[in-house]
Structure 1
Amino acid sequence: MAKPDIIIDGRKKDLGGFQVARVLPFAKKRMVGPFVFFDEMGPAQFAPGNGIDVRPHPHIGLATVTYLFEGAMHHADSLGVSQEILPGAVNLMIAGSGITHSERTDPEVRARGFSLHGIQTWIALPEAREEDMASFEHHAADTLPVFVEGGATIRLILGSAFGHTAPATTLSPIIYFHAEMAPGAELLLPEGHDELAAYLVSGDAGLGGVALQPGQMAAIDGGTATLTTRKGARVMVLGGAVIGKRFIEWNFVSSSKERLEKAKEDWRASAAGGWTGTPFTLPPGENEYIPLPGDDLPEPPAPSKDCPTT
């Protein structure tokens, strides 16, 4: 039975009442299977009148997955999609050759105050699919497979596991699920994946006999391992096939550094061109945007801080 090859601590940053823990990429472990980015958002409590306002920003070469335990977020993108995400549902945005999106709190949620807690991940696309047309999928909580295995209630987010298959599109072999582990549960993780990792959100858990603290990810290369808990735990399990080295700059992911430079120039040109007939456009109804870091483009007015997870 495999033991973890590495334990990664989430690096926390307080954004003024809103905490984000960055787990991937890590200096000694850039990816787990195709997962190139993993953030835990919150838990955070927003007083009435406050919320999240992540202004429109671009992506290429990746798929983003937003999954909430608590709260709500509103996604809008340059495809014209406007979608609220609620706990247990899945928002999958395949950026491909390029997309722009924003993430905000709806006015009615903002007015009453709310809690927010969830996970955002980026999945690197296979090299042959990096320039696919952008697309978006929303899968409500009641459409995801939910089942009990090894004393854990599992909600399957992506891929196939334990005889079940999630409805979201996958472009390479992948596994991603949320496990609520009952006290004393022992969950043998599925075999057949190049890499696997378990992230402990809360409670107590161990992987391959190695104890984890909340906010830690344990990764294994090949083989399988047993996930255990004494008192109960909330765990995210992720992994899949290794798809090769990826470069990351700002919100862009690619197998080519030259493609990253083109994306940066396209974002600059789109802002300078007023977002009409340009490589990137804004979501309908949006007029704000996040300039490329370090650029001299004027910062549009923004009443709230931007979350650095996207």
Structure 2
Amino acid sequence: MSNINLIIEERAADIGKFLVGRLLPFRQKRMVGPFIYIDHMGPVKLNERSNFDILPHPHIGLSTLTFLFEGSIMHRDTLCNEVEITPGAVNWMTAGKGIVHSERTPEHLRNSEKLMHGLQIWVALPKHLEQMDPEFFHITAEEIPAWEQDGIQFKLVAGEAFNRKSAVPVYSKLYMVEIKSQTRQHVALGEHLYGESGLYILEGGVESDGNVYGPKQMLVTKESHLCEFTLQANSTIYIFGGEPFPEERFIDWNFVASDKALIASAKQKWIDQKFEKIKGEETEFVPYPTFSKQ
């Protein structure tokens, strides 16, 4: 019997100047573990006249995880952080009761051709931490646990799994694992995983129970301890998952909470422009959209 409970196809979503491939939320599966939002960004080639510019915008009730395959993004926020994220590193920003950030092409790349390709992820916070003070951490590529086993390359981008712990300071039981192989391999991960699991195929393919799945698909397992499949040659996949929360999470635009009143309050605060401003970007912002629910 197949362990695949749901197949989610990447769907085009407009985030302003760019279209991304949205994986979560999905109408039949709003979350996988604590993961509530996953966008595949790119690959997109930008010329010397085009740049990635996401103006200041707010978040509450979640942590954002930015993970690039190619390209570079300059992150600025209301905690006075100004950090360039490059491929393999992790930007981990916890919004808590509220933070504002912008994401742009760095100044040194703005007048040249460049590629943008990566994952933008939101992880909902546990209920008791939804109103915590905001935080920001940048974890370099060298700090991410990486190892090889039986010809397969692993990286533990975030969380705990495989008796290892990532340097990314998460607040719930979760994992994000990169798996690569240049050769065809049988992969059995069940004993290393827990909670719910989603398998996203970036490159190559995955075979399970006589079926073949390819890029831009996410497979959601019925039971993570039965996560077993064949990885085709020259494949790269990501496993997301963890323990689901007991309470429902609501999402409206960039706001996530277990209480709709928190979202309504944040929405009005942003409309009234009462969130803190990013130093040097005080006059720019993304307006609250007319139709925002994911």
Tell me by how many angstroms 1:15 deviates: 7.2
Match of 2:285 in 1: 289
> CA separation in 1, counterparts of 2:209 and 2:151?
17
Match of 1:213 in 2: 214
Identity across matched positions, percent: 37
Asked whether the equivalents of residues 198 and 240 of structure 2 are also in contact (C-alpha less than 8 Å), the reply is yes
Which residue identity lines up with residue 211 of structure 1 in the other structure?
V
Counterpart check, 1:203 vs 2:201: no
The structure-2 alpha-carbon separation of the partners of 1:100 and 1:208, relative to structure 1 and needing over 3 Å to count, comes to farther
> CA separation in 2, counterparts of 1:175 and 1:116?
24
Asked whether the equivalents of residues 151 and 184 of structure 1 are also in contact (C-alpha less than 8 Å), the reply is no
The structure-2 alpha-carbon separation of the partners of 1:236 and 1:248, relative to structure 1 and needing over 3 Å to count, comes to same
Deviations 1:155-181 (A, max 9, x none): 211112222210011111001022212
Which residue identity lines up with residue 26 of structure 1 in the other structure?
F
Tell me by how many angstroms 1:148 deviates: 1.3
Asked whether the equivalents of residues 38 and 122 of structure 2 are also in contact (C-alpha less than 8 Å), the reply is yes
Bigger CA drift: 120-129 or 152-161? 152-161
Tell me by how many angstroms 1:246 deviates: 0.5
Match of 1:182 in 2: 182
| Count of residue correspondences | 289
Match of 1:86 in 2: 86
Tell me by how many angstroms 1:18 deviates: 4.3
Tell me by how many angstroms 1:49 deviates: 2.8
Match of 1:137 in 2: 137
Which residue identity lines up with residue 284 of structure 1 in the other structure?
K
- The 5-angstrom pairing of residues 77-116 of structure 1 reads 77-116=77-116
Give the 3-state SS of the residue equivalent to 1:111 in structure 2: coil
> CA separation in 2, counterparts of 1:17 and 1:288?
16
> CA separation in 2, counterparts of 1:47 and 1:31?
35
Which residue identity lines up with residue 212 of structure 1 in the other structure?
Y
The structure-2 alpha-carbon separation of the partners of 1:208 and 1:36, relative to structure 1 and needing over 3 Å to count, comes to farther
Asked whether the equivalents of residues 3 and 222 of structure 2 are also in contact (C-alpha less than 8 Å), the reply is no
- The 5-angstrom pairing of residues 1-310 of structure 1 reads 3-13=3-13, 18-191=18-191, 192-207=193-208, 210-222=211-223, 223-243=225-245, 244-269=247-272, 271=273, 278=274, 280-286=275-281, 287-294=283-290
> CA separation in 2, counterparts of 1:15 and 1:35?
19
Give the 3-state SS of the residue equivalent to 2:67 in structure 1: strand
Tell me by how many angstroms 1:291 deviates: 1.2
Match of 1:298 in 2: none
Tell me by how many angstroms 1:234 deviates: 1.0
Tell me by how many angstroms 1:265 deviates: 1.1
Deviations 1:83-107 (A, max 9, x none): 1000000000000000000000012
Asked whether the equivalents of residues 190 and 228 of structure 2 are also in contact (C-alpha less than 8 Å), the reply is no
Asked whether the equivalents of residues 19 and 43 of structure 1 are also in contact (C-alpha less than 8 Å), the reply is no
> CA separation in 2, counterparts of 1:79 and 1:14?
28
Asked whether the equivalents of residues 55 and 285 of structure 2 are also in contact (C-alpha less than 8 Å), the reply is yes
> CA separation in 2, counterparts of 1:207 and 1:259?
42
Asked whether the equivalents of residues 22 and 38 of structure 2 are also in contact (C-alpha less than 8 Å), the reply is yes
Give the TM-score normalised by structure 1. 0.88
The structure-2 alpha-carbon separation of the partners of 1:172 and 1:232, relative to structure 1 and needing over 3 Å to count, comes to same
Root-mean-square deviation (CA), in Å? 2.1
Which residue identity lines up with residue 93 of structure 1 in the other structure?
M
> CA separation in 1, counterparts of 2:58 and 2:79?
12
The structure-2 alpha-carbon separation of the partners of 1:150 and 1:219, relative to structure 1 and needing over 3 Å to count, comes to farther
Which residue identity lines up with residue 218 of structure 1 in the other structure?
L
The structure-2 alpha-carbon separation of the partners of 1:289 and 1:17, relative to structure 1 and needing over 3 Å to count, comes to closer
Give the 3-state SS of the residue equivalent to 1:262 in structure 2: helix
Gaps of 5+ in 1: 272-277, 296-307
Deviations 1:176-233 (A, max 9, x none): 0222122212222243511001000111123565421210000113323123223221
Give the 3-state SS of the residue equivalent to 2:226 in structure 1: coil
> CA separation in 1, counterparts of 2:79 and 2:19?
30
